Amino acid sequence: MTNTPDRPAPGRARHGRVVCPGCRARVDAQRWRDDLRVCPECGRHDRLPARERLDLLADPGSVRLLPPVTVREDVLEFTDTVPYPRRLAAARERTGLHDAVLCARIDVEGRPAVCAVMDFRFLGGSLGAAAGEAVVRAAETALAERAPLLLVTASGGLRMQEGPIALAQTARTSAAMGRLDEAGVLTVSLVTDPTYGGVAASFATLADVIVAEPGARLGLAGRRVVERAAARRLPEDFQTAGFLLARGLVDMVVPRRALRRELGRLLALNPPGPAPVPAPGPAGVPASERGPGREGDRDGLLRDPDALPPLDPWEQVLAARSADRPGVPDYLALAFDDFQELRGDRAGGDCPAVLAGTARLAGRPVAVIGHRGRGAGAGPGAPGHATPSPAGHRKAARVMRLAAKLGLPVVTLVDTPGDHPGPQAEEHGQAGAIAENLRLMAALPVPVVTAVVGQGGGAAALGIAVADRTLALSGAVYSVISPEDCAAILWHDPAAAPRAAAVLGLDAPSLLRLGVVDGVVPEPEGGAAADPALTADRLRAALTAALAELAGLSGDDLVSRRRARLRHFGTPVPPPRPPGLPADPAHGHVSVSQVARDPGGQPWTTVPPTDPTGRDERPR
């Protein structure tokens, strides 16, 4: 698991100039240092010593080194061309380091963190007992101080001279990362060139967010090993940062000069303690329990279907599909602040149809997930943009789990005609990916608020829409199937789509009557396209108020209420109690908080307060 990098050695000064190992350009040595060892000709990011890396990432004067660790060395009494102790001594003299990892407390953009930096100069950054112990102690320090852990990796793999002791470090460091997951402490990995072998197969890829420098390589086996096994040449960009980003294996690629700023934004997600709680709404009462016709003082929602202007459902479908209508990218820019996209499902795929990441809503950090169905950066009809793939659903799930870990509310914005219909999506488990999301969202121990802002098409929409509160813009539609497909199935005529739209209950007034949504955000006269900024303002106010209503609820209460909401949605009456359940009145019959009626007048209960049968299956 130890790999020898194939790339040329770092640039070296000759006669006051440095020769770039990538393009062979001769660069003035002072300029080379001023440019942070980034070639001005080709942009190649050369390796940085650990201390220089700390100074680059940390605010000036904020580096406080942790003491070096002491472990038993040379347990195998290993000798290759020279005894292992002599190799260690030479590396220490050459680098000034005790081993391949240097740890420190630092501040990044004013935010405290514990940082462990690998130095490739020390025996190729190989992972042995001392380096593993340093990473574990850094993780334990982060855990004790509830400070985020920042890992900077540069390694050829495991240290062969330590044999199975080196191999065990992958398990040790992975277990330490798991403890931080359980405690809700943020972890961020910065992958630099190269990161291979046991480091790649442990803490480098276990972080909540993985950032890579341009050109950095990451993999279990090195390029030559893979080419030998494949008996063919691999693409020039194989295993590089751009290659990894396109395949969903890293979240972002950040140039060296921008690292401190971007890492500071990420580290701000770490909860310093209990999450800040905005002012709650009236006793945390759900919008749907305030009674029809009553609008919130602050949220501007419509809750009376008759208060909405009558529109032909088919016309509303066409309007919701309009290329002029603002989409999720627009609302992320107008209603949220500081959106930071996180890429990939970490399983080899990324889906441009799903936008996911973190942002601030009214000053509060949230996880936000939406469909790139239209709007800035996604032209109408752009291939693969409107319809989520399995990788998109799994990316959404990954960000939801991160939100659960860090205690971030989840906001989802729905705008998709449906799932990707191609055979590849089926081969990659599209149905199972959606099902996993439905189960996950039902158990998230954080507030979840959904807004349908355009089209809400079938299971693809629901895959990010299991929520404590569901809202819709007045021009949005939400349907089990497209009107065309419904007409083709039931009337054998896609041209009967207007007839299908009229009976599918997909428009905003119908969604309110059925209790599918808790409130409708009124769009400006002429629709959302007439004034996207005003629409975004109203959406932001509604989302903020919905989160405030939920702010005082514990994770247990949120899960219990959400499961109860799902358990009784659409059922005519509360079901009989299963035998053996306790008779505690608090867990007895479900009170009906909102009653909607079907066309035949049958009452449907939609928002009971508790679920006595709910098991604790929340993500940890």
Contacts for 171 with CB less than 8 Å, ≥ 6 apart: 202
From its phi and psi, is residue 357 left (phi > 0), alpha (psi between -120 and 50) or beta?
Answer: left
Q: Helices 50-57 and 259-267, interaxial angle, to 10°? A: 70
Three-state secondary structure of 534-600: HHHHHHHHHHHHHHHHHCCCCHHHHHHHHHHHHHHCCECCCCCCCCCCCCCHHHCCCCCCCEEECCC
Return the SS3 of 33.
helix
Output helix, strand, coil percentages for the chain, rounded to the nearest 5: 35, 20, 45
DSSP designation for 121: T
Contacts for 504 with CB less than 8 Å, ≥ 6 apart: 313, 479, 480, 481, 483, 486
Report d(CA 217, CA 219) in Å as an integer: 7
Taking a C-beta distance cutoff of 8 angstroms, is the pair 222, 201 a contact? no
Rounded to a whole number of angstroms, the distance between the first and last alpha carbons of the chain is 31
Q: Would the annotation count 20 as a binding residue?
A: yes
Q: 């969903």: which residue's tokens?
A: 248
Return the SS3 of 414.
strand
Taking a C-beta distance cutoff of 8 angstroms, is the pair 398, 391 a contact? no
Q: Which of 519, 593, 549 is nearest to 304 (CA)?
A: 519
Q: 């409708």: which residue's tokens?
A: 520
Report d(CA 12, CA 119) in Å as an integer: 17
Q: Helices 430-442 and 555-568, interaxial angle, to 10°? A: 120
Angle ∠(450,451,454) on CA atoms, nearest 5: 140
Contacts for 440 with CB less than 8 Å, ≥ 6 apart: 397, 400, 401, 619
Q: Would the annotation count 486 as a binding residue?
A: no
Q: Which of 119, 127, 116 is nearest to 167 (CA)?
A: 127
CA distances from 460 to 397, 411, 437 (A): 13, 16, 10
Q: Would the annotation count 39 as a binding residue?
A: yes
Burial, 71: exposed, middle or buried (Cβ in 10 Å; 0-12, 13-18, 19+)?
Answer: middle
Q: Would the annotation count 42 as a binding residue?
A: yes
Task: Please state the residue numbers annotated as binding site for Zn(2+).
Answer: 20, 23, 39, 42
The annotation places the binding site at 20, 23, 39, 42
